[in-house]
Amino acid sequence: MTAQNQSMDYRKKGLLVLAGIALFLILFTALASFLDLDRKVTALFYSQERGFFLAEKQPWLWMYHQGTLPGVLFLVGGLCLWFGGYFYSGLIKWRKYMLLVFLTGVISSGVLINGVLKPYWGRPRPVEITEFGGEWQYHNVFDPGDPGKGQSFPSGHAAMGFAFVPLLFFRKKSRAAFAVGVASLGFGVLMGATRVVQGAHFLTDVTWSGGINLFVAAALYFFILKIPEKEEPDPDRKASVVKKLVFATIFVILAFSVSSSYFTRRPIFETFKKDLTIRPYVQELVVHTDFEPVHVEARYAPGEASRLLVDSKGFGVPSLDLDVHPDSRRIGNAQHIYISIGIHGKYVEMNHSLTVILPQSLENRVKVRFETDEKSQ
């Protein structure tokens, strides 16, 4: 077989692999949507009395806090070994494979999943939808919501659990590495199960995390890096000082690019709830804020408990954290509630809406009034 025919053969194989991955994800998602598997599977780990009763249990809690560490170390190790290939001849034959490891993690987990899909797809998490004690409506994967209003799809934790899938393409280079890659799929499944058990993601969220990792790895392997087609450089060939400096610069830029992904802004949409107790003497409910809400609403609804909702929307860095601090006191026949919002981290374009929900039986007895304190002006 000529080199050209061999190249075409690898490309056809690559297209078949990519088509197979995409077809599986689409068909699985369609089946899950038809059978409502996302909510049915999630319901196995939820009760109205205890919520997601395994969320704070072991080993799920440990997996949540420490489960991404192996994937992070794997990606950093791949970057270091790729860089070392320009200084140590014994590593040259592994250079493209290590680049495959690193780029798969950066593109799939860093860019596609955490940088694009999660913040902009707008799919609420299980814990955020009405069926499981939340305030938002359920969206399936094929029905994107408002950007920032939920970051369930796909799962970032599961993506790091599946960080080892590039090892599945090591079969010709190292059967041992390939075997580790097959075994590590179990770790990705375990990480995905953790997020489902905790009510943080649906079954399809974690499935797509694994599929995206595999799709990106295959695209890099067959079409970008073209590992099956091209031979590695001569191991005896030494890199010049200039080349070492060039690749050292590339190394620093790549490392900075990975770390800087944590400081880019993303859509924020958070809903905070506070249950209210309306005393028999109360004739007026006054809600004070130290910020200017963009929208306020008082709603009386049958069968509803008294509560306050604060919707916060805008853009911020991934470390942005919003806290609602409510305080209540009585003045005559009026109950005053003071709401302040603490924002931790850099943010822009943040705005907040307030909604007071009261039972319909209070509609003719309790009036609701909103006030903004002068200090916020």
Please give the backbone phi and psi of residue 67, each rounded to the nearest 5 degrees, phi first: -70, -20
Please state, as a whole number, how many other Cβ atoms lie within 10 Å of the Cβ of residue 185: 17
- Averaged pLDDT, 276-288: 89
State the DSSP H helix or E strand holding residue 82, giving kind and residue range, or none if neither: helix 69-84
Q: How confident is the model at residue 248 (pLDDT cuts 50, 70, 90)?
A: low
- Burial of residue 326 (number of CB atoms within 10 Å: 0-12, 13-18, 19+): middle
Where is average pLDDT lowest: 47-56, 71-80, 104-113, 247-256? 247-256
Render pLDDT for 45-69 as a digit per residue (tens, 0 to 9).
999 888 899 988 999 989 988 899 8
Sorted by where each begins, the domain ranges of the chain are 3-263, 266-376
CA dihedral 231→236→238→243, nearest 10 degrees, is: 10
Structure tokens at 94: 């592994």
Please give the backbone phi and psi of residue 240, each rounded to the nearest 5 degrees, phi first: -75, 170
Share of the chain above pLDDT 70, in %: 83
- Averaged pLDDT, 80-108: 87
- Averaged pLDDT, 227-241: 59
Quote the pLDDT of residue 124: 92
The CA distances from residue 159 to 106, 313, 353, in Å, are: 11, 26, 33
The yes-or-no verdict on residue 125 having pLDDT over 60 is: yes
Domain covering 3-263 assigned CATH 1.20.144 in the classification = yes
